[in-house]
Structure 1
């Protein structure tokens, strides 16, 4: 089975909340979240990202390695990745599902492959060529990935992430919450400042 958006229909991409809708605090971390870092880290950073967002790919390819080294690996931060598929949905939806269907412990490997390969597919490369190395990194076979993507629970999990983003007032990707507070500066330095402030405020 070829990965297509049809498997995810009607998966909606994110839209800005109406002004009449009250913005709620970002949803707390649950067992369904994809997490890196110590559970007892003093600061939690939640990122909403899309696999078809070039700003997200830039952050993951250039900033995330140092962010992980300095903040996650040192026990200062628990990092959470949440899906917020953006245009074009025929790329972001299936990619989000593919990553979510990875074997335990393999999500971030798949995410890295997808982010690094994003520019090629956005510039007209073959979609299946983008997926193939991600499937290899997933720890699953292609039939296993296809079967998982077809599950209603997979679509529902992505929809839950989208809804928590909309409820929290997220209007674009990537978006970062540091201990529940939306942080505008997504540079490494900006996030380090926010993490230090959040740790000091505990």
Structure 2
């Protein structure tokens, strides 16, 4: 083979390799885009957060143990994938309920702050669907989702699992409809409202507890009780 033919052959091979790489990169990009779209369809980004106007702790649309005459309002910001939230709701919340909620001393509300991973949003949406369609079952659903919480590094809050947890506390639940409701604008808007409130007040982790509009330094029982007692005794 002459040097000229060999050179042409090398050029042709190089061009073929280059074209092959371009095609492969393009194919991988397309696959990645398709996967991103599919992921977004299952685990949606909460839209509209920046368009929400925050005007104080408006908890009228939030799950609440309510006593209108109570001097103290306590608000928890939580993420259902947060292991500390699960522990807080297992250890701290029952004591607050026994000492203050059951005695009518405080209003207690829960606000979503899904920030850990993509399925945090879906878990938050599920809680909003339960609250809207089966309000009396909300706190039982919350208890069960924390009890069935898996490792925070795994994507476990799937539509099927969330529907199964909801079904365990709402025996007559239409699971097919429940899964559809996860993606409706009403639920999206409410979670967007929650996130906007959290951002407005500088929430950057969970659980974060506010007592009469002031953040408690840490979510321990002792700190929260001290803050509540100080407000009651004013």
Shift of 1:173: 0.9
Which of 93, 97, 102 is the equivalent residue of 2:125? Answer: 97
What TM-score do the two structures reach when normalised by structure 1? 0.81
Q: Residue 177 of structure 1 aligns with which residue?
A: 210
Q: CA RMSD in A?
A: 2.5
Number of equivalent positions: 186
- Tell whether 2:37 aligns with 1:9: no
Q: How does 1:62-101 map to 2 (within 5 A)?
A: 62-90=91-119, 92-101=120-129
Rate the CA distance shift 1:5–1:132 in 2: closer, same or farther, 3 A: farther
Q: Residue 135 of structure 1 aligns with which residue?
A: 167
Shift of 1:122: 5.4
- Tell whether 2:74 aligns with 1:45: yes
Unaligned 5+ segments in structure 2 are 1-38
- Tell whether 2:138 aligns with 1:107: yes
Q: How does 1:114-129 map to 2 (within 5 A)?
A: 114-119=145-150, 127=158, 128-129=160-161
Secondary structure class of the residue paired with 1:101: helix
Unaligned 5+ segments in structure 1 are 15-24
Shift of 1:183: 0.3
Rate the CA distance shift 1:61–1:163 in 2: closer, same or farther, 3 A: same
Secondary structure class of the residue paired with 2:135: coil
Contact 2:126 2:162 in 1 (8 A): no
> Does 1 or 2 have the higher relative contact order (CA < 8 Å, sep 6+)?
1
What TM-score do the two structures reach when normalised by structure 2? 0.71
